[in-house]
Amino acid sequence: MPRAFSPKIVTANALLEGDVVYLTEDDRWSRHMGEAEFIEDEAHAAIRLLTAEQQGGTVVGAYLADAKAGPDGPEPVHFRESFRARGPSNYRHGKQADFA
């Protein structure tokens, strides 16, 4: 029996900067997970992933990540996505500098 579909977001890495980015409902790439499109339909998720994969000049490595609804938009479910959302781990720059 197949597993039930769980909500997703589309994430990738920006081609030039390497930053983690998230596909928004209006087809922008945002560096903030809270702006990502929260997808609750499996067929729609597949279509959005195809949209992302066709943007090879902008992003690489697009995939669907599990997410949950939060007060400020989608939130990560797994540690990997929490880690990616925080930004580089080697020193404070990029997203980590914004949070400081």
87 falls within a domain: yes
In tens, the pLDDT along 8-60 reads: 999 999 999 889 999 999 999 999 999 999 999 999 999 999 999 999 999 99
Burial class (CB in 10 A: 0-12, 13-18, 19+), 8: buried
| Domain-located, residue 22 | yes
What's the pLDDT score for residue 92? 60
Q: How many domains are there within the chain?
A: 1
**pLDDT tens-digit map of 85-97:** 887 666 565 565 6
Any domain includes 35: yes
User: What pLDDT was estimated at residue 70?
Assistant: 96
Does 3 map to a domain? no
1 lies in some domain: no
Domain membership of residue 88 as a residue range: 8-99
